[in-house]
């Protein structure tokens, strides 16, 4: 204990104060390093939040004592990565976030007793608007949505009924195509009784009208539908071609564009075909008639006409016989009736443009070189494309395959250059690299502090301390503390000899100085011998060479 007090007393107040300041700085620095190293990795809990949702989520996090960070003016909340999923489930259980709108939960928070029908109707309308807004936000590229409904009340003695309408304001991430806009219209119309899709108006955040809400335009709907069918057909063919070509040239190494000319006319064609050579007997009818007719002499005389007179019995008799035969044959001729209905969407002409990248080879030093693809490969790829699209030269179809180098290099290396097995363990991602860089920078800062702050301080404290002594002549000099050069083992200072200028000089009787003098003398003798040998070699170089050869033979 006394030794420690004496040590602190010898240091002096100035040095103790400096040590205290440096120690405090070091403690703060290492506390900062420890905090950064042990700080958990943060991940976004929710993004694009409204102020109300952010406040509700922060309240829940503070109640659970969860560390969080607010970014982008409260629109994004960061939490520890390992707790993000669990927190989302707990917040979803409590109905947070609400997306800045209320849904059917409004009836859970209100007291139905004493509530008027007007308030109930307003709450019902708000709930419908909120639920529709939440559903629309779940669509891709929709960041936020607000829905306003106008549902006319049905009067008791009113014959005419007004249709309900809706207006929707969207905040988008990009652009919506026509199919998505109509999908939103049909979604809202199906949720409201009596609403037609054409009565839904949609605008985006820039005030651009996406749907007028003035009713459906039949011609416009048909034209949009035909355009969508053409686009869908072209996209499907492009996907088929790209899937085939990608297996040859690599993923992302081919670009395909298809232009199709489709015929949307619906044609019904009916034809009757008769085959005269294919006649058959349908029915046969035969008719035969035989008749016999006998007649006498019917001449008119007076005797024959007088009543009671004697008629002439000897008149002549005539006989007539006839035979008639008739046959009718009915034939059935072969007849073919054919009705063809050609639906809309027939391909009139199709054109395919295919751009493929070349070949890349990696040298042992890592350099990547480009080589164009052989013409034989391009011809085979073109043949595959023709087969996949149903190429018909009579229609005027075209297929063009061009090999050009892409502006960007391949995203992935060939399989033989990819890391596998144990080497794949060191294939770090972007987050891992950033974390390692942060830890590396902290390590470098720690080493710098240790080398340039802690180490000099320790040497300063534990190193020899110079004290001032006074000689008999009154001149001042400095010697080290016990254990340092110039001090005996028992702490007795060695004698100090002062020079003519009053400064202490080394004691010539000290053993160290004696050894130095001996070394200097020996060095001078060796230097003189080397000089003499050099002069002898210069005077007789042949003899010197012979002597050296003899030494070499003896050594061998």
Quick count: other Cβ atoms within 10 Å of Cβ 260? 19
What string of pLDDT tens digits covers the 556 residues of the chain? 566 677 667 666 776 777 777 778 777 777 777 776 667 777 888 877 777 788 888 888 888 888 888 887 778 888 888 888 888 888 877 777 776 667 777 777 666 666 788 888 888 888 888 889 888 988 888 888 889 999 888 777 777 778 899 999 998 888 888 888 888 999 999 988 888 888 899 999 888 888 888 776 665 566 667 777 888 889 899 999 999 998 888 888 899 999 999 888 888 888 888 887 777 778 888 888 887 776 655 566 666 666 665 555 555 566 677 788 888 888 788 888 888 888 778 888 999 999 998 888 888 877 888 889 999 999 999 999 999 898 998 989 999 999 988 877 665 554 444 555 555 555 566 666 776 777 777 778 778 777 777 777 666 655 554 444 444 344 444 444 444 444 444 445 555 554 555 555 555 555 555 566 677 777 777 787 788 888 888 888 888 888 888 777 776 5
Same domain, 118 and 204: yes
Whether 116 is in a domain gets the answer yes
Which residue range is the domain that position 547 belongs to? Answer: 528-555
pLDDT digits (tens, 9 = 90+) for 357-381: 888 888 887 788 888 999 999 999 9
**pLDDT on residue 432:** 67
Model confidence pLDDT, tens digit, residues 488-531: 444 455 555 545 555 555 555 555 555 666 777 777 777 877 88
pLDDT at 9: 72
What's the token pair of residue 267?
Answer: 């044609």
Strands 346-356 and 359-362, bridge-based pairing: unpaired
The dihedrals phi and psi of 383, each to the nearest 5 degrees, come to: -65, -40
**pLDDT digits over 421-477, tens only?**
555 555 566 666 776 777 777 778 778 777 777 777 666 655 554 444 444 344 444
Task: Quote the pTM value.
Answer: 0.44
Q: Which two tokens stand for residue 216?
A: 């459906």
Residues 15 and 118 both lie in one domain: no
- What is d(CA 51, CA 71) in angstroms, rounded to the nearest whole number? 12
In a domain, 494, yes or no: no
Rounded to whole angstroms, how far apart are CA atoms 254 and 354?
A: 7
Rounded Cα–Cα distance for residues 72 and 80 (Å):
18
Instruction: Spell out the alpha helix ranges (H) of 12-154.
Output: 13-38, 51-63, 84-93, 106-109, 117-137
- The verdict on 122 and 257 lying in the same domain is no
Q: Is residue 29 part of a domain?
A: yes
Running DSSP on this structure, what letter comes out for residue 493? B
Per-residue model confidence (pLDDT) at position 288: 82
Structural domain includes residue 26 = yes
196 and 257 fall within a common domain:
no
CA-CA-CA-CA torsion sign (427, 433, 435, 436)? positive
For residue 311, what is the DSSP state?
Answer: P
132 and 187 in one domain?
A: yes
**DSSP 8-state class, residue 450:** I
Q: Which helix (H) or strand (E) is 527 found in, with range?
A: helix 511-539
Residues 118 and 154 in one domain: yes
- Omega within 30 of 0 (cis) for the link into 97: yes
Cα 146 to Cα 132: distance, rounded to the nearest angstrom: 8
Residues 244 and 137 in one domain: no
Residue 207 lies in a domain: yes
Q: Domain containing 376 — which CATH number? A: 3.30.300
Q: Are residues 122 and 31 in the same domain?
A: no
Q: Do the Cβ atoms of 381 and 402 come closer than 8 Å?
A: no
Residues 187, 131: one domain? yes
388 within domain boundaries? yes
Tokens of 333: 């001729």
Number of folded domains in the chain?
A: 4
Other CB atoms within a 10 A radius of the CB of residue 247 amount to: 10
Residue 332's closest CA among 276, 285, 273? 276
Partners of 259 in the beta sheet?
A: 351
Tokens of 24: 């405090």
CA distance 52 to 59: 11
Report the Cα–Cα distance between both ends of the chain, in Å, rounded. 70
Task: Specify the length of the chain in residues.
Answer: 556
Residue at which a domain ends, from 403, 424, 441: 403
Indicate whether 140 and 21 sit together in one domain: no
Residue 252 lies in a domain: yes
Query: Is 285 a member of any domain?
Result: no
pLDDT number for residue 469: 42
Cα separation, 152 vs 47, in Å, equals 37
Question: Which among 185, 216, 247 is the end of a domain?
Answer: 216
Give the C-alpha separation, 471 to 115, whole Å: 107
Shared-domain flag, residues 255 and 363: yes
What confidence score (pLDDT) does residue 159 get?
73
> What pLDDT shows up at residue 438?
73
361 and 247 assigned to the same domain? yes
Q: What is the pLDDT of residue 161?
A: 78
Query: DSSP letters of 390-423?
Result: T--GGGT-EEEEEE---SSPPSS--GGGS--GGG
For 487, which DSSP code?
A: B
Q: What is the pLDDT of residue 380?
A: 92
């Amino acid at each position: 204990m006394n030794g420690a007090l004496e040590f602190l007393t010898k240091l002096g107040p100035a040095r103790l104060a400096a040590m205290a300041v440096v120690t405090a700085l070091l403690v703060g620095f290492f506390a900062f390093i420890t905090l950064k190293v042990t700080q958990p990795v943060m991940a976004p809990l929710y993004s694009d939040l409204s102020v109300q949702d952010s406040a509700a989520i922060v309240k829940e996090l503070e109640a659970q004592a969860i560390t969080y960070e607010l970014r982008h003016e409260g629109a994004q909340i960061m939490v520890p990565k390992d707790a993000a999923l669990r927190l989302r489930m707990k917040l979803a259980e409590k109905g947070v976030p609400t997306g800045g709108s209320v849904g059917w939960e409004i009836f859970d928070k209100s007291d139905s007793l004493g509530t008027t029908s007007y308030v109930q109707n307003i709450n019902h309308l708000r709930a419908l608007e909120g639920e529709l807004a939440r559903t629309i936000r779940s669509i891709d590229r929709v960041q936020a949505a607000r829905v306003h409904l106008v549902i006319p009340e049905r009067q008791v003695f009113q014959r005419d009924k007004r249709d309900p309408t809706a207006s929707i304001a969207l905040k988008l991430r990009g652009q919506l195509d026509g199919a998505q806009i109509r999908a939103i219209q049909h979604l809202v119309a199906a949720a409201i009784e009596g609403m037609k899709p054409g009565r839904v108006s949609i605008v985006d955040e820039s005030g651009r009208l996406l749907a007028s809400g003035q009713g459906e335009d039949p011609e416009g709907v048909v034209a949009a539908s035909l355009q969508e069918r053409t686009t869908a057909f072209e996209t499907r063919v492009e996907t088929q071609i790209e899937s085939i070509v990608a297996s040859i040239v690599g993923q992302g190494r081919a670009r395909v564009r298809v232009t199709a000319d489709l015929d949307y006319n619906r044609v019904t064609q009916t034809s009757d075909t008769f085959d005269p050579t294919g006649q058959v007997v349908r029915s046969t009818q035969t008719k035969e008639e035989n008749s016999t007719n006998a007649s006498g002499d019917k001449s008119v005389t007076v005797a024959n006409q007088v009543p009671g007179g004697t008629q002439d019995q000897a008149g002549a008799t005539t006989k007539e016989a006839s035979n008639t035969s008739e046959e009718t044959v009915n034939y059935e001729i072969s007849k073919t009736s054919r009705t063809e209905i050609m639906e809309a969407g027939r391909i009139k002409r199709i054109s395919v443009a295919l751009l493929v990248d070349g070949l890349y080879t990696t040298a042992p030093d890592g350099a990547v070189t480009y080589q164009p693809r052989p013409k034989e490969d391009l011809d085979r790829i073109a043949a595959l494309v023709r087969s996949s699209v149903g190429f018909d030269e009579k229609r005027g179809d075209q297929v063009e395959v061009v090999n050009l180098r892409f502006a960007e290099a391949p995203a992935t290396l060939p399989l033989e250059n990819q890391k596998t097995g144990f080497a794949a363990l060191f294939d770090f991602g972007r987050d891992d690299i950033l974390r390692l860089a942060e830890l590396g920078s902290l390590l470098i800062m720690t080493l710098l502090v240790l080398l340039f702050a802690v180490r000099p301080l320790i040497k300063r404290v534990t190193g020899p301390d110079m004290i001032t002594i006074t000689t008999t002549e009154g001149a001042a000099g400095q010697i080290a503390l016990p254990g340092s050069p110039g001090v005996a083992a028992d702490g007795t200072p060695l004698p100090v000899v002062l020079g003519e200028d009053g400064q202490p000089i080394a004691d010539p009787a000290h053993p160290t100085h004696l050894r130095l003098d001996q070394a200097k003398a020996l060095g001078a003798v060796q230097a003189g011998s080397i000089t003499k040998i050099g002069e002898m070699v210069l005077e007789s170089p042949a003899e010197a060479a012979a002597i050296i050869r003899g030494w070499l033979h003896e050594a061998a």
